[in-house]
Structure 1
Amino acid sequence: MEAVAVAAGGAGLTKWQAAALSAVAGWVWAASFFDLTRRSRALVQPWVTRRVLAETPSIVRFQKVHHKLLDNFFSVLSCVVSVPFYTGFLPLLFWSGHSKLARQMTLLMAFCDYLGNSVKDAVSAPRPSSPPVRRVTATEDEKENAMEYGLPSSHALNTVCLMGYLLHYVLTYGPHDNVMVATGLSIAFLLVMSVGVGRIYLGMHSLIDVIAGICFGVIILEFWLAVHNHVDAFVVSGQNVTTFWASLSLLLCFAYPKPEFPTPSFEYHTAFNGVAFGIVYGIQQTYFHFHNPDVPLIFSPQLPLIAFVGRVLIGIPTILVVKFCSKALSKWLLPVMCNTLGIPIVSTCYVPALKASEKSKDKSDAKQGGYLQKVFSLFPQKAYDVDTGIRQRPPRTLKLHCKEMPFLFLHCIDAGSLYPFHFHAHVIICQTKSLRSTPYEETD
């Protein structure tokens, strides 16, 4: 089968790809049939909850040593692994010529985000109660983070993987000595510990959450260091990469565990899932032109600092423009498409034109007919809320993010200045946030 797939020019999946997708699909079926999420939650959640409650008095005592400067310091430090940080940091890696580091960092962070948030929602363990704990949420991102479950700490997990892989890359591809190794390890250790202490100081996590995040981070980092070269070789020169990754992205949405109560965690996974697909598709299309090992690095004669600054000055505003325009476009286009095709979809808050009312429901019922309506009549007759429920149907917005949007933005820019991925990634992020396609509630 593999030889046939190769001979067909990537027309079909290879044996290992089919086996991998079948394994994920089998896990989805088994988890649903045996109710594995609730069973595992019943075993783990009570113990974690008791630990969080037992640690609450210690957190309150620890927070007595507080100061405005410490509030600001730890709040800024928390941004190291936040969405705004990735928005600026990952494009800089591409524009500086470090394409391998950039794509590996993005895929690793997507992997961390998925596994960390899956554990969060599977366990559904609470954060320290506020009050009595003083919770500091200086940014909108922190306020959204506070709506998630506690264990493990995503900030601790992501910081371990981010600093660990950066250190590995520098020591592997650059000159180093014992002093440099010791300095790098010290900086990484200090940053991880500072982020962990900061999460407790800000009232966002208990000690058990931070320890779990660090442990998960070390395990994921060790695994990634063992497979990252194979992953990179597959992304750069593998067979059926786009087809396989699109299928995997879709299956991972269904494999995500349903939380006990609604949280934004699935939204973050969906965004990074789309970002990872944008990376893979963009690299596949432009590797030999802009992402191969011969691409000039920053500070080289071919890429002086002034050229890099020019890329940043052009790239960041372009990313922001595309982000806001695509958000407005998606909010306008989705109601038009749904109303035109007669698809029973509503939005409770993020897409005002899709808000349901009694009159609109009556009109919608009166307009029954047509092929699509007959198709949808096979399913329960209710309007599906794009803000809450996609677990029972393939996520249409994810399909838009993963397939149509890369084609739309692939040739929109001069690749000598900007790389196509950055548009894929940020369009995906902003559209996902605007539509809030989260699995909080399952449809009947």
Structure 2
Amino acid sequence: MAGGIKMGFMRLMQNLQDPQHVARFQRLCGVRGVEARDRLSNGASCVGHGYNVSQNGGGDGIRRRAPEIETDREKRNNGVADDCARDERRVDGSEQDSARGSTVKPMRRNSLTGDVGQEFLVENKLLFYLFMLGTELGNELFYICFFPNFMWNVDAFVSRRLVVVWVWVMYLGQCTKDVIRRPRPASPPVVKVEMFYNSEYSMPSTHAMSGTAIPLSLFLITYGRWEYPLLLGVSLAIGWCVVVCLSRIYMGMHSILDVIVGFLYSLLILLIFGPALDTIDTFNQTHPYAPVLIVSLHLGLGLFSFTLDTWSTSRGDTAQILGSGAGIALASHLNHRLGLLSDPPVSMLPLQPPAFTLSMIGLCALRFLLGVIILLVTRAVMKALTIPLVCWVFGIPSNDVRKARQHMEVELPYRYIVYGTVGFNSLFLVPFVFAHIGLL
């Protein structure tokens, strides 16, 4: 009985990992690779299923060839044969297909290989832009805008706790990827709509983890602290989570199983660390030894995560997240001492959302624009100073910055210093400037 349940569970896991499900979802949403169709229209055939994986940026990529890929080759070849048969039936209507959609290149090239990926056909632009938005909700540009803006214009109390959740979820997710070492969905049959993270391992989906943890934590922390309808908060959290999770399948970056594991893993982390948020935030703000422990803890976690088999964007992202979290935690300690962005007294809770007037919207927009400019300038200046300095210290050539950053000796201090400074400035320098020019 137990053996039958175990076998059934393993078959379910293998089924959810099948890249054919990802390819079917992409076709359902109007995404199709153009390579097979173009070859057929030029007189080529699908004999041998000769897709060029190196050209289209296969999920297993140049970085790894895991054993799981080889054992699934026959299954993929059968799936490719089905795709070729479908493409043959579409050849006569290929011009109509092109008229209904537009051919585009993947989002951002792979930062490890420089691979720009395979062109693909988008037949549903609404879904394309929706899932582009969903995947951006887990990228650096969103984080550098969302967390600071929440600090400056909404509630620093909530933002500090969200950052703690984000750091733990992303750190554990990235480390787990490099322990499990599951490859990205195979291409073909999957179309790589995004290429930037293609060299990383796949399980769990850290986009799904952050897309679950951030909106859920936002709801749990703000509900009762701020007055707003319960249905609004629940709807926003669910919608955010669903769009981010589905976007990773749409982009061809994750299997269904990767997304489910990321979702459940995020819930488990919240269940464990959620009750400790108040304790962690209070310690960061008030304990006299908090700065020493913050730096030591984040640096130690980063050193542990840097024991990877080879370089990928995962290692740099982990250091970047830890550096940002350390900088924000240090700033919260200094802010508490100086009284910057102080939390409202408990007697004022629950807080009432302010009336939306033109002056209030203009003030928030001014804070956001000025603050983001300061952070972007901070990042650019610190990058320009830190990378050559670290390369000089460790005797690593800095003429090729991309290769230099792949050395652990460069990447660890570079990411920590740059993004630690960005995080620190977001919660200290920017509010300090606002206070002195009358924007607080």
Flag whether TM exceeds 0.5 (same fold): yes
| Whole-Å separation in 2 of the counterparts to 1:330 and 1:48 | 49
Q: Say whether the 8 Å CA contact 2:208–2:262 is kept in structure 1.
A: yes
Gaps of 5+ in 1: 1-46, 138-142, 356-384, 420-444
In the other structure, the counterpart of 2:233 is: 184
Taking the aligned partners of 1:155 and 1:225, their CA distance within structure 2 comes to: 19
Provide closer, same or farther for how the CA distance between residues 85 and 152 of structure 1 changes in structure 2, counting only shifts above 3 A: same
Partner of 1:375: none
Q: Work out the CA distance in 2 between the residues paired with 1:346 and 1:404.
A: 24
**Structure 1 residue 81 corresponds to structure 2 residue 44:** no
Moved more, 315-324 or 208-217: 315-324
Note if 1:417 corresponds to 2:417: no
Q: For 2:285, which of 191, 213, 236 is the aligned residue?
A: 236
- Residue type of the partner of 2:166? M
Query: Relative to structure 1, is the Cα distance of residues 173 and 297 closer, same or farther in structure 2, using a 3 angstrom cutoff?
Result: closer
Which of 407, 411, 430 is 1:388 aligned to?
407
SS in 1 for 2:340: helix
In structure 1, C-alpha distance between the alignment counterparts of 2:430 and 2:17, rounded to whole Å: 55
Task: Give how far 1:237 is off.
Answer: 0.8
* 377, 382, 385: which one aligns with 1:326: 382
Distance 1:212 1:246 in 2: 31
CA distance 1:326–1:394, shift in 2 (3 Å): closer
C-alpha separation in 2, matches of 1:48 and 1:332: 51
Equivalent residue, structure 1, for 2:112: none
| 2:223 alignment partner, SS class | helix
Number of residue-to-residue matches in the alignment: 325
Query: Contact 2:316/2:415 (CA < 8 Å) preserved in 1?
Result: no
Q: Does 1:171 align with 2:223?
A: yes
Partner of 2:342: 292
Whether 2:263 is the aligned partner of 1:214: answer yes
Contact 1:249 1:273 in 2 (8 A): yes
Q: Unmatched 5+ residue regions in structure 2? A: 1-9, 31-122, 346-350
Q: Does 1:126 align with 2:126?
A: no
- Change beyond 3 A, Cα 1:413–1:163: closer
Judge which range, 305-314 or 159-168, deviates more: 305-314
Which shifted more, 59-68 or 97-106?
Answer: 59-68
Cα distance change on mapping 1:89 and 1:394 into 2, 3 Å: closer
| TM-score, length of structure 2 as denominator length | 0.65
Match of 1:359 in 2: none
Aligned mates of 1:327, 1:402 — CA distance in 2: 9
1:422 match: none
Residues 1:414 and 1:283: Cα distance change in structure 2 (over 3 Å): closer
Q: 1:364-375 residue pairs with structure 2 within 5 A?
A: none
1:274 is aligned to 323
1:310 and 2:366 matched: yes
How far has the Cα of 1:312 moved from its partner?
1.9
Separation (CA, whole Å) in 2 of partners of 1:87 and 1:406 = 9
TM-aligned CA distance change 1:128 to 1:310, over 3 Å: same
CA distance 1:81–1:403, change in 2 (3 Å): closer
Q: Distance in 1 between matches of 2:176 and 2:209?
A: 12
The equivalent residue for 1:227 is: 276
Instruction: Give me the whole-angstrom Cα distance separating, in 2, the residues matched to 1:314 and 1:394.
Output: 29
Change (3 A) 1:118 1:68: same
Could you say which residue in structure 2 is the equivalent of 1:9? none
Q: What is the CA distance between 1:325 and its match in structure 2?
A: 2.3
Aligned position for 1:194: 243
Residues 61/395 of structure 1: CA separation in 2 closer, same or farther (3 Å cut): closer
Question: Is the CA contact 2:375–2:422 (under 8 Å) kept in the aligned structure 1?
Answer: no
Alpha-carbon RMSD = 3.4
In the alignment, residue 221 of structure 1 is paired with which amino acid? L
CA contact (8 A) 1:124 1:260 kept: no
In structure 2, C-alpha distance between the alignment counterparts of 1:196 and 1:84, rounded to whole Å: 18
Greater shift, 207-216 or 93-102, is seen at 93-102
Would the alpha carbon gap of residues 401 and 241 (structure 1) be closer, same or farther in structure 2, given more than 3 Å must change?
farther
CA distance in 2, matches of 1:204, 1:242: 38
- Using the alignment, how far apart are the partners of 1:315 and 1:48 within structure 2? 51
Structure 1's 58 and 226: CA in aligned 2 closer, same or farther, altered over 3 A? same
> Which deviates the most, 82-91 or 167-176?
167-176
1:127 and 1:309, CA in 2 relative to 1: closer, same or farther beyond 3 A?
same
Classify the secondary structure of the residue corresponding to 1:217.
helix
State, as a whole percentage, how many aligned pairs show the same letter.
Answer: 22
Q: 1:320 to 1:49 in 2, by over 3 A?
A: farther
- Take 1:300 and 1:56, find their aligned partners in 2: how far apart are those partners? 49
Provide the C-alpha distance between the structure 1 equivalents of 2:425 and 2:20, rounded to a whole number of angstroms.
54
Tell me the secondary structure at the aligned position of residue 173 of structure 1: coil
TM-score by length of 1: 0.65
CA separation in 1, counterparts of 2:411 and 2:380? Answer: 26
Any idea what SS the aligned residue of 1:172 has?
coil
Structure 1 residue 191, shift from structure 2 partner: 2.6
